[in-house]
Amino acid sequence: MARILILILTTILTLSACTAPEPQIGSDGKPLPKLYRIRAGDTSRVQFSMLDSVNSLRQAAGHGTVDLDAALNAAAATHSRDMSVQNRPWHFGSDGSSPIDRVRRVGYSGNLVGENISETYETELETLAAWMEEPGTRQVILAPDARKMGFAWLQEDNGKIWWTLVMGD
C-alpha cells in the first residue's frame, strides 16, 4: 500500500512539474516579451533569416532580390556598436559620420540606398515587421534599386539589441 501511495505522489509531482508557467502580463494586458538572446554562433542564422524575409517581401512587391554584402555587413555592425556606445538610435555616428560615410569607409563601391535602425528587445523578424509598418523604413526595404544588403546588431548584456540594416545598389 505504501508503494502505491509513493508511486502516485511521484507521478503527481512529476506531472505538476511539466505544466507551463503562466505568462507574465504587462500593464497593457498583453504578455510581457521574453528575452531574445543571440548567441555568438547565431550570426549566419540571424542574417540569413533576415535576408530570406526581406527577399520574400521584395518579391511580393514585384522587386528583385538582394544579396548580403560583407562590406555593408561591416558598416551595419560598426553603426550598431556605435549606437550602443551613444545609447541612442540615430543615423549619425559618434564622430559625426553619416550612413554614406560609413559605407565608404568599409570600401563599398556602390551607392547607399538607405539605412534602417532600431533599439529593441525584439527578434530580427519582429523588428522587420515594425520597419514594414513605417513608410520611411518600408521604402528602404522595398527600394527597387537595392541589390545588396548589410545587416548586423549589437546585443548588450541586459538583452537590448541595436539593429542596423543597410541597403545598397
Spatial distance between the Cα atoms of 35 and 152, rounded to a whole number of angstroms? 18
How much is the average pLDDT of 146-160?
A: 96
How much is the average pLDDT of 87-107?
A: 94
Domain-by-domain residue ranges, the chain?
42-168
At the top level of CATH, which class does the domain 42-168 belong to? alpha beta
Q: Which helix (H) or strand (E) holds 15?
A: helix 2-17
What pLDDT, on a 0 to 100 scale, did the predictor assign at position 6? Answer: 58
What pLDDT, on a 0 to 100 scale, did the predictor assign at position 31? Answer: 72
Spatial distance between the Cα atoms of 162 and 79, rounded to a whole number of angstroms? 9
Task: Please provide the average confidence, as pLDDT, over all residues in the chain.
Answer: 89
How much is the average pLDDT of 92-99?
A: 93
Task: Compute the C-alpha angle 148/152/155, nearest 5°.
Answer: 170
CB 54 within 8 A of CB 46: no
As a whole-number percent, the residues of the chain with pLDDT over 90 amount to 75
Rounded to a whole number, what is the largest CA-CA distance in the chain?
81
CB 84 within 8 A of CB 163: no
Q: Give first-to-last CA distance, the chain, whole Å.
A: 77
Spatial distance between the Cα atoms of 163 and 154, rounded to a whole number of angstroms? 7
